[in-house]
Amino acid sequence: MAEAKLAPNLPPWMLEHTNRYLASGGTDGHMYKMSQPGRPEMTVPSLLLTTTGRKSGEKYIFPLFYGEHGNSYIIVASKGGAPEHPGWYRNILANPNVEVQVGTKKLHAVARTVTGAERAALWIEALKFWPPYADYALKTTREIPVVLLEPVD
């Protein structure tokens, strides 16, 4: 992922986290300790998602919390409950071929937005690794997309 850049406009905590993840080759930063006001500290698994910019064609890295589903990874396009989808999600709609780093493991995957009963089941799984998604869903009128990253050979 050397040719990829950090996504623009990441908040400082995400920049620090992503830089630590990249600098360590994934040995530091995979399990991220996170605290939010009014919540206990949580340790959440995080991966680095590299997408292709829908306008620029450049590769961008985004740190995201994830869960596992078989040999695939669950990610959620919450953007903290903002009214619009995050940039990485808009990028994968334009080009679902992505690169993923999970700890020290790097792979290519295809991103697929899940729907219906599959979405309902994976949303429950997502709430297990990051319960605040439930609060984010209450803050927005959009349905927050749940995405499965399916490895390819």
The per-residue pLDDT for range 8-44, each reduced to its tens digit, is 888 888 899 999 999 999 999 899 888 767 777 889 9
Record the tokens describing residue 65, joined without a space.
């919390």
Residue 36 tokens read as 């939010």
For the chain, domain boundaries: 5-152
Instruction: Output the pTM of the full model.
Output: 0.93
pLDDT tens track for 114-135: 999 999 999 999 999 999 999 9
Q: Into which CATH architecture does domain 5-152 fall?
A: Roll (2.30)
For 76-85, letters b (16+ CB in 10 Å) and e give bbbbeeeeeb
